[in-house]
Amino acid sequence: MFTNEELLVIEDALRIADEEYIKLIDLNKHNKTRLVAYNRKQKKLWLVQNKLKKLIQEK
């Protein structure tokens, strides 16, 4: 389906997105609605990262 190199590129992109969500969460600590929204998105991102790690390990 994907080559190992492509999976590594996807992993890097997800890492960058994770860093961006961390920044957004820090900036919106006083706005609870946005904080919860970014936290939920980050949790979904973590699920994708975990599945990607399993795919990389299987190859």
What's the pLDDT tens digit per position in 7-43? 999 999 999 999 999 999 999 999 999 999 999 999 9
Domain limits for position 36: 4-58
pTM of the model: 0.84
Q: What's 59's DSSP letter?
A: -
* Cα–Cα distance, 14 to 49 (Å, whole number): 7
In terms of Cα–Cα distance, which of 6, 9, 15, 3 is closest to 49?
15
Closest CA to 14 of 58, 53, 55, 40: 53
What's the burial of 26, exposed, middle or buried (CB within 10 Å: 0-12/13-18/19+)?
Answer: exposed
Structurally, how many domains does the chain consist of? Answer: 1
User: Which H helix or E strand runs over 46?
Assistant: helix 32-58
